[in-house]
Amino acid sequence: MHMYDVGRDAVLRRALAERPALWAYSLGLTRNPQQAEDLFQESHVVICGKWQQLRPDQPFLAWAFTIIRLTWLASLHDKHRRMAPLKDEVLERCVQEAVDDEEGPQGDRLARLRACLEQLTPRARSALDLRYAQGLDCSRIAQRLTMGVKALYQLLSRSRVMLEDCVRRTGTT
Amino acid sequence: MSDDQVLIERFLDNALSEADSAALQERLMAEPDLRLALGRALLTLAGLREVLQAQQRQRSKRVRRALAGGPAFRITFLRVAAAVLLVLLPLAWWQLGRSSPQVPDASPELATSHGIDGDLLAMDEAAQLEYLRQQAGQQRHEPLSATLLAPETTGDTALLFRHQAAAGLVRAAIVQGRVVDLLLAEETRSLALIQAGQEPALRQAAQTLAGQFASERQAGQVRLLAFRILPRGTPRDQALILISLNEDLQGRNRL
């Protein structure tokens, strides 16, 4: 295999392995799953195109976060959206520190999350699925689940906190 | 829920005022625990997206395999169908033997246009029952076209085909008592949902109708309800109603 391909493949593999952190950062910037998905994908196109700009001594996540941030800023400029409420570097620290805090490979965490998801009620699972897999907005989900928007927020929040606790608990046992 | 969790929720819901955002930023810079909490919340959502999307892909694959007739799924379907038949059929036949209200607004012409024998609507309950018994075993539902039902096939024409396939399956199941067809219709439902997800109001209306049906708590009413609703509305309405009807039936059978 040519050296070019080796370097490019390594960067793309790294991007693949770090996709939860990259998506988390995208979501932090946009605070909207649909927009986060768009930003995540657009940024990946840039990462694929500019892989050679990643220096060997440069941390991958910091480099990728910069690309995501610049892509986001470009889209803000295009569409006149309002800025994110947090400074980019604050958000970057939040995600980076949470990534550093995690134990074990990402695959283990996802397996634990999958198991913990099974412990939620079917209604909570549906709400999470509609919000974070299908990207529907809360008013539509509330309508579909025949519940109030406020109750839906509480359901989503409780479910997420429970999942976080469960994933951490099962990770330490 | 702690105050910090509320703050994080409001951040994630994009519901922070400028002042709240500034305050959150100050605190995040000073408090590592809060940074960690927000980072973890974001990572959990990212993980959820991965897991839920993988499950969604798995479901789509399962539907396609079931429609293509994978042996393992056929066996599962047959097992479930056998269990459902044991519960549902006695109820259905018992209900068919009872007198039931006339269907006021499903004209034979409309029913025929949807593939239901219009003459059947004009018969009294006993005659309907006899007719259905004669038909049992003689009708075969049309095979589903994997291409037309594939999720990649989009647009109103595809939805219409899906609706027709679902209607055909429900009809066949009603007439022949082939509950296994209803289970297949449930898989058709999953595909139809791809389109139906765009129409929450219609779906709500369909659920209301299905709720009325559920309150009757008689499996034999499936037939009458189908006669009432199939001739009404657009193909999309009908597909949604069928979806809810099937959901309700599936739900009851699991009880």
Distance from CA of B67 to the nearest CA of A (A): 23
A138 touches chain B (CB under 8 A): yes
Inter-residue contact A156 to B36 (CB < 8 Å): no
Cα–chain center distance at A70:
17
pLDDT value of position A64: 92
For B24, nearest residue in chain A (alpha carbons): A86
Pairwise CA distance, residues A173 & B17, whole Å? 40
Answer yes or no: do A74 and A142 share one domain: no
Q: Residue A117: which of A50, A55, A164, A69 has the closest Cα?
A: A164
Helices (H), chain A: 3-17, 19-30, 33-49, 60-79, 88-101, 106-117, 122-128, 138-144, 149-172
Inter-residue contact A103 to A165 (CB < 8 Å): no
Q: Which residue has the higher pLDDT, B95 or B78?
A: B78
From A66, A82, A98, give the residue that closes a domain: A82
Contact A133 B200 (CB under 8 A): no
pLDDT at A128 over 80: yes
Whole-number average pLDDT of chain A: 81
pTM of the entire structure?
Answer: 0.51
pLDDT mean over B110-130 = 50
Q: Would you list the DSSP string of chain B?
A: --HHHHHHHHHHTT---HHHHHHHHHHHHH-HHHHHHHHHHHHHHHHHHHHHHHHHHHHHHHHHHHHHT-HHHHHHHHHHHHHHHHHHHHHHHHHHTS-----SS--HHHHHHTTS-HHHHHS-HHHHHHHHHHHTTT--PPPPPHHHHSTT--SHHHHHHHHHHHHHHHHHHHHH--HHHHHHHHHHHHHHHHHHTT-HHHHHHHHHHHHHHHHH--TTHHHHHHHHHTTSS-HHHHHHHHHHHHHHHHHHHH-
pLDDT mean over B134-142 = 38
For A109, nearest residue in chain B (alpha carbons): B47
Question: A-contacting residues of B 49-108, CB under 8 Å?
Answer: 49-53, 55-56
Which residues in B lie closer than 8 A to residue A143 (C-beta atoms)?
200-201, 204
pLDDT at A152 over 70: yes
Find the CATH number of the domain harbouring A15.
1.10.1740.10
Distance from CA of B3 to the nearest CA of A (A): 13
Inter-residue contact A27 to B46 (CB < 8 Å): yes
Inter-residue contact B44 to A160 (CB < 8 Å): yes
Whole-number average pLDDT of chain B: 55
From A19, A54, A82, give the residue that closes a domain: A82
**Residue matched to tokens 């819901």:** B13
Inter-residue contact B39 to A97 (CB < 8 Å): yes
Q: Which residue has the higher pLDDT, B41 or B90?
A: B41
Token output for B177: 């008592």
Across the interface, which of A86, A134, A140 has its CB nearest the CB of B200? A140
From A60, A82, A104, give the residue that closes a domain: A82
Contact A161 B5 (CB under 8 A): yes
What would the pLDDT profile of A92-109 be if each residue is shown by its tens digit?
899 988 888 876 666 677
pLDDT mean over A143-155 = 85
Q: Which residue has the higher pLDDT, A74 or B82?
A: A74
**Residue matched to tokens 């649909």:** A34
Q: Which domain range does residue A21 map to?
A: 3-82
- Is the ipTM reported for this complex over the cut 0.90? no
pLDDT value of position A129: 84
Contact B28 A113 (CB under 8 A): no
Answer yes or no: do A140 and A104 share one domain: yes
Contact A31 B13 (CB under 8 A): yes
Answer yes or no: do A96 and A166 share one domain: yes
Which residues in A lie closer than 8 A to residue B201 (C-beta atoms)?
143
Across the interface, which of A31, A98, A160 has its CB nearest the CB of B39? A98
pLDDT value of position A49: 80
Answer yes or no: do A98 and A150 share one domain: yes
pLDDT at B83 over 50: yes
Answer yes or no: do A99 and A76 share one domain: no
Pairwise CA distance, residues A99 & A18, whole Å? 9
Q: Residue B51: which of A94, A25, A155, A106 has the closest Cα?
A: A106
pLDDT classification of B107: cutoffs 50, 70, 90: very low
Answer yes or no: do A98 and A161 share one domain: yes
Which residues in A lie closer than 8 A to residue B41 (C-beta atoms)?
160, 164
For B44, nearest residue in chain A (alpha carbons): A164
A128 touches chain B (CB under 8 A): yes
Answer yes or no: do A108 and A130 share one domain: yes
Answer yes or no: do A77 and A7 share one domain: yes
pLDDT value of position B122: 57
Answer yes or no: do A125 and A159 share one domain: yes
Q: Which residues contact B141 (CB under 8 A, 6 or more apart)?
A: B168, B169, B171, B172, B178, B181
Answer yes or no: do A34 and A65 share one domain: yes
Answer yes or no: do A77 and A93 share one domain: no
What would the pLDDT profile of B142-186 be if each residue is shown by its tens digit?
333 333 334 444 444 444 444 444 454 444 444 433 333 333 344
Find the CATH number of the domain harbouring A107.
1.10.10.10
Answer yes or no: do A135 and A96 share one domain: yes
pLDDT classification of B241: cutoffs 50, 70, 90: low
How many domains does chain A contain in total? Answer: 2
